[in-house]
Amino acid sequence: MPVAQRVARSGTGPRRDEPAFTLDNQVLTHRQLALHAAAVAAGLRTVRPLRRPWLPPGAPLLALGTGNHPVFAELFAGASAGDGAVAVLDPQWGAEQAGAVLDRLRPDLLVLPAGRTALHRAADRLGLRTLRADAGADADAYEAWRARYLGAAPAEHLRAGGDDTPFLIGFTSGSTGLPHAFHRSRGSWRISLAEGRKVWGMDAEAHTLAPGPLAHGLSLYALAECLESGAAFHGLRRFDAASVLRHLERGAVRRLIVVPTMLSALCAAAAGRGAPGRRFASVETVVSGGAKLSPQLIAPVAELLPQARVREYYGASELGFVTVGSPDPDTPAQDVGTAFPSVTLEIRDTAGRPAPLGTPGTVFVRSPLVSDGYVWGEGSFRTVGDWATVGDTGRLTADGHLHLLGRGGMVISGGLNVYPSEVEDALTRLAPIDTALVTAVPDDHLGQALVAVVSGTGPDHLGHTALRDLCATVLPRYQVPRRFYTLDAWPLTSSGKIARGRIEEWIARGDSRLRALPEEPHG
pLDDT single digits (tens) 57-104: 999 999 999 999 999 999 999 999 999 999 999 887 877 778 889 999
Q: Last residue of a domain, which of 141, 156, 187?
A: 187
Are 354 and 417 members of one domain?
Answer: no
Q: What pLDDT does 500 receive? A: 82
HSE-up of 494 (CA within 13 Å, CB side)? 20
Say whether pLDDT at 204 is over 80.
yes
Domain boundary among 160, 187, 214: 187
According to DSSP, the β-strands at 416-418 and 233-235 are unpaired
Q: Name the percent of the chain lying above pLDDT 90.
A: 62
Question: Do β-strands 447-455 and 435-443 pair in parallel, antiparallel, or remain unpaired?
Answer: antiparallel
Highest mean pLDDT among 137-151, 270-284, 358-372, 449-463: 358-372
Q: Are residues 341 and 462 located together in one domain of the fold?
A: no
Half-sphere exposure of 499 (CA within 13 A, CB side): 15
Tens of pLDDT, residues 99-138 = 889 999 999 999 998 877 777 888 889 999 999 998 666 7
| Residue 447, SS3 per DSSP | strand
Residues 452 and 462: their CA atoms lie apart, in Å, by: 14
pLDDT at 225 over 60: yes
pLDDT band (50, 70, 90) for residue 15: very high
48 and 182 both lie in a single domain? yes
Q: Tell me what the mean pLDDT of segment 359-385 comes to.
A: 91
Contact by Cβ (8 Å): 424, 337: no
> Is residue 435 located within the same domain as residue 387?
no
Q: Is 465 helix (H, G, I), strand (E, B) or coil?
A: helix
Helix, coil or strand: residue 501? helix
DSSP 51: P
Give domain status of residue 92, yes or no.
yes
How large is the angle between the packed helices 30-44 and 72-79, nearest 10 degrees? 50
Gap between the Cα atoms of 370 and 229, Å rounded: 22
Most confident option among 135-144, 384-393, 487-496, 514-523: 384-393
- Greatest Cα pair distance, the chain, in angstroms, is 73
* One domain, residues 56 and 160: yes
In DSSP terms, 263 is beta-bridged to: none
Task: Select from 143, 142, 167, 149 the least CA-distant residue to 42.
Answer: 149
Q: What does the pLDDT average to over 226-252?
A: 95
Distance CA 81, CA 37 (A): 9
32, 197, 202 from 229: Cα distances, Å = 17, 9, 8
Per-residue pLDDT, averaged over 450-461, amounts to 80
- For residue 268, tell me if it sits in a domain: no
- Residue-level pLDDT at 478: 80
Q: pTM, whole model, 2 decimals?
A: 0.84
Give the CA angle between residues 432, 438, 443 to the nearest 5°. 125
In this structure, are 73 and 181 located in the same domain? Answer: yes
Domain match, 358 and 393 both: yes
pLDDT of residue 243: 95
Identify the sign of the CA torsion 121, 123, 127, 128. Answer: negative
Q: What percent of the chain has pLDDT over 70?
A: 94
Report the pLDDT value the prediction gives residue 441, as an integer from 0 to 100. 86
In a domain, 304, yes or no: no
Which one of 187, 219, 242 terminates a domain? 187
User: How many alpha carbons fall within 13 Å on the CB side of residue 274?
Assistant: 0
Q: Are 30 and 18 in contact (CB under 8 A)?
A: yes
CATH number at residue 351: 2.30.38.10
* pLDDT of 378 strictly over 80: no
Q: pLDDT band at 520, cuts 50/70/90?
A: low
Identify the pLDDT of residue 473.
82
82 is a domain residue: yes
State phi, psi for 281 to the nearest 5 degrees.
Answer: -80, -10
User: What is the 3-class SS of 293-356, one letter each residue?
Assistant: CCHHHHHHHHHHCCCCEEEEEEEECCCEEEEEECCCCCCCCCECCEECCCCEEEEECCCCCECC
Q: Give the CATH number, domain containing residue 180.
A: 3.40.50.12780
CA separation for the pair 161, 464 (Å, rounded): 59
**Residue span of the structural domain in which 46 resides:** 3-11+23-187
Would you say residue 273 has pLDDT above 60?
A: no
Q: What radius of gyration do the chain's Cα atoms show?
A: 24
Determine, yes or no, domain membership for 99.
yes
β-bridge mates for residue 208, sequence order: 233, 255
Distance, CA of 472 to CA of 465 (rounded, Å) = 11
| pLDDT of 308 above 50 | yes
Position 464 scores a pLDDT of 83
- The whole-number pLDDT of residue 523 equals 46
- Once rounded to an integer, what is the mean pLDDT over residues 25-43? 97
176/49 same-domain check: yes
The domain that holds 505 is classified in CATH as 3.30.300.30
Tell me which of 388 and 448 has the higher pLDDT: 388
Whether 404 is covered by a domain: the verdict is yes
Q: Are 132 and 114 found together in one domain?
A: yes
Confirm whether 249 is domain-assigned. Answer: no
Structural contact between residues 259 and 288, judged by C-beta atoms closer than 8 angstroms: yes
**Distance from C-alpha of 227 to C-alpha of 442, rounded to nearest angstrom:** 49
- Residue 348, pLDDT above cutoff 80: yes
Residue 173 has pLDDT above 60, yes or no: no
423 and 367 in a single domain? The answer is no
Q: In angstroms, rounded to a whole number, what is the distance separating the alpha carbons of residues 319 and 184?
A: 10
The phi, psi pair for 109, rounded to 5°, reads -150, 140
Q: How confident is the model at residue 174 (pLDDT cuts 50, 70, 90)?
A: very low
H/E run at residue 185: strand 181-185
**Assigned domain for 96 exists:** yes
**For 291-428, where are the alpha helices, taking DSSP H only?**
295-304, 420-427
> What's the half-sphere exposure (Cβ side, CA atoms, 13 Å) at 204?
11
Distance CA 112, CA 67 (A): 8
pLDDT band at 276 (very low <50, low <70, confident <90, very high): low
Q: Please give the average per-residue pLDDT across 199-223, as a whole number.
A: 94
Helical residues (DSSP H) of 345-462, grouped into ranges? 420-427
Per-residue pLDDT for 449 more than 80?
Answer: yes
CA distance 441 to 169: 35
End-to-end CA distance of the chain: 63
Band the pLDDT of 177: cuts 50, 70, 90: low
Lowest mean pLDDT among 349-358, 424-433, 508-517: 424-433
Kindly state whether residues 131 and 37 are assigned to the same domain: yes
Question: Does pLDDT of 176 surpass 60?
Answer: no
At 143 the pLDDT is 94
What local confidence, expressed as pLDDT, does residue 497 receive?
78
Domain count across the chain: 3
Say whether both 366 and 502 belong to one domain.
Answer: no
Looking at residue 175, its pLDDT comes to 38
Angle at the Cα of 313 from the Cα atoms of 160 and 366, rounded to 5 degrees: 65
- Is the Cα torsion angle 96, 100, 105, 109 positive or negative in sign? positive
- Main-chain phi, psi angles of 288, to 5 degrees: -115, 135
The pLDDT mean for the chain works out to 89
Residues 6+ apart with CB under 8 A from 100: 178
